[in-house]
Amino acid sequence: MKATWKGGNRLRLLVNGEQFFPAVFDAIRQAQREVLIETFILFEDKVGNELRDVLVEAARRGVEVHLLVDGFGSSDLTPEYIGALTSAGVHLRIFGPRRRFLGMRLNLLRRMHRKITVVDARVAFVGGINFSADHLGDYGPEAKQDYSVEVEGPIVEDIHRFTRAAVDPDRGRWFRRRHHAVTTPAPRPVGTADAMFVTRDNHDHPNDIERHYRIALRAARKRVLIANAYFFPGYRLLREMRRAARRGVEVHLILQGEADMAIVKTAAGLLYDHLLRGGVRVHEYCRRPLHGKVATVDDEWATIGSSNLDPLSLALNLEANLSIRDRGFNRELREALDCLIRDDCKEIKAGDVPSQGMWVTVRSFFVFHVLRSFPQWASWLPRHAPRLFTVAASMSGTSGSQRDVGHRQGRDAAEAENGHAA
């Protein structure tokens, strides 16, 4: 699906689970025809249990409910949880499930990392928030800082078409397409925002999200503000950040200071000297783990979605972002990020970066050459043909974990990564 700008949309920024979960659950409770959900992580905690309950209630009142989870990120769902969904009529599918080996999850690469919800082809939610309680402040110091957007208007047609094909592989049949086209009218304009739905896969759209970042950086004239949890981008994206800074644009990065994984901070730290010498300002968010994947450029362009700026998201995972041209939304997101910088960030200065010794010079040389070429070498990695599994109600109680239930749909990875299955 080619990404195009569509006008007439209404947007609402949702910050953290406190705003996101009530909005999503209320939309599902009001659903009349259809609920489509893709999520990387679904946990059996108070958030996952509430999602289960609202989906079960919707399915029982006749709403068609499709739920797609990733086999790596949602690998610990119990048969009881799965059975409650499927016995109520929820269509549950798992992207790339794999058995564990010595307790380890082996399906690390090429994950279904998107976080999308669409209700009645009328309202959609796109962002970085999973269905898990660690997106709520009462989770404690490990609660994640993250963002999503609620959108209504013509762009929902694009999001709906893509998500429907992803969660329901049988939709490719001609009679399903015809029936769907007749029963789902295109959303009417309800606002003034322009929006574009941008996805990344391993076939037709391998670098679309990164390309839109680079386009926005090249067009920047005043200020760029990027908040990204897992930051280790390719050489071309780093180059555009430095070029923008050198022509007088304020370029600010908000990265993890309280990292949820030590390697995240270590990897980003390798780039600090290169970025600072290029005029980019780096801020570490230290209040709690940063999980957001958002950016604003000047007074109008913004993006929000599931894609980190690291090799997994930019070269391997299946991702989805919403690009936005709207001054009001841009201002709201920019002010929220400026609050993070003002209240909860530490700015990294040149003196905070260790001096360049021989080892650091050699290491930096190696890192930058890897960065320059990682999209190419990532394409050499084996495409292990992740499958989409459908969990049948009669199978949900036959094993000790989600990994052992389900049967294979007749779709291979090539279709999945083109959007027909995942």
Average pLDDT for the chain: 85
- Does residue 118 carry a pLDDT above 70? yes
Which tokens go with 290? 């940063």
Q: Name the CATH code of domain 6-201+385-417 (choices 3.30.870.10, 1.20.120.530, 3.40.190.10, 3.90.1280.10).
A: 3.30.870.10
- Does residue 53 carry a pLDDT above 90? yes
Which tokens go with 283? 């801020």
Tracing tokens 């925002």 back to the chain, one arrives at 193
Quick check: helix, strand or coil at residue 381?
coil
Would 6-201+385-417 and 208-378 be classified into the same CATH topology? yes
Separation of alpha carbons 409 and 173, rounded Å: 14
- Say yes or no: domain 208-378 is CATH 3.40.47.10: no
User: 44 with 76: CB under 8 angstroms?
Assistant: yes
Which tokens go with 340? 């993070």
- Does residue 59 carry a pLDDT above 60? yes
Q: How confident is the model at residue 274 (pLDDT cuts 50, 70, 90)?
A: confident
- Does residue 20 carry a pLDDT above 90? yes
Separation of alpha carbons 93 and 387, rounded Å: 10
- Does residue 208 carry a pLDDT above 70? yes
Q: What residues does 12 pair with on adjacent strands?
A: 150
Separation of alpha carbons 299 and 332, rounded Å: 10
Other beta carbons within 10 angstroms of residue 116's beta carbon come to: 26
Quick one: what percent of the chain has pLDDT higher than 70?
Answer: 77
Q: How confident is the model at residue 353 (pLDDT cuts 50, 70, 90)?
A: confident
Can you give the pLDDT at residue 147? Answer: 98
Identify which has the larger pLDDT, 271 or 197: 197
Which tokens go with 368? 């930058």
Each residue's pLDDT tens digit, 297-341: 999 999 999 999 998 898 889 999 999 999 999 999 999 999 999
Q: How confident is the model at residue 400 (pLDDT cuts 50, 70, 90)?
A: very low
- Domain residue ranges in the chain: 6-201+385-417, 208-378
Residues 46/47/50/52 CA torsion (nearest 10 deg): -110
Which tokens go with 77? 């769902």
Backbone CA torsion sign across 121, 413, 323, 93: positive
Can you give the pLDDT at residue 414? Answer: 32
Long-range contacts for 259-262 (Cβ within 8 Å, ≥24 apart)?
Answer: 259/289, 260/142, 260/144, 260/289, 260/291
Question: Residue 302 corresponds to which amino acid?
Answer: A
Can you give the pLDDT at residue 175? Answer: 39
Question: Residue 281 corresponds to which amino acid?
Answer: R
Q: Among all residues, which ones are annotated catalytic? A: 113, 115, 120, 291, 293, 298
Can you give the pLDDT at residue 401? Answer: 38
User: 166 with 68: CB under 8 angstroms?
Assistant: yes
User: 153 with 190: CB under 8 angstroms?
Assistant: yes
Separation of alpha carbons 366 and 417, rounded Å: 31
- Does residue 263 carry a pLDDT above 50? yes
Which tokens go with 171? 């939709």
User: 245 with 251: CB under 8 angstroms?
Assistant: yes
User: 137 with 18: CB under 8 angstroms?
Assistant: yes
Other beta carbons within 10 angstroms of residue 11's beta carbon come to: 24
User: 254 with 145: CB under 8 angstroms?
Assistant: no
- Does residue 363 carry a pLDDT above 80? no
Residue length of the chain: 422
Tracing tokens 């599918």 back to the chain, one arrives at 93
Other beta carbons within 10 angstroms of residue 421's beta carbon come to: 27
Q: Is 325 exposed, middle or buried (0-12, 13-18, 19+ CB in 10 A)?
A: middle
Q: How confident is the model at residue 388 (pLDDT cuts 50, 70, 90)?
A: confident
Average pLDDT over residues 218-237: 94
Identify which has the larger pLDDT, 416 or 209: 209
Q: Rounded to a whole number, what is the distance in angstroms from the first to the last CA of the chain?
A: 13
- Does residue 163 carry a pLDDT above 50? yes
H or E stretch at 358: helix 358-378
Separation of alpha carbons 226 and 238, rounded Å: 12
Tracing tokens 């800082």 back to the chain, one arrives at 145
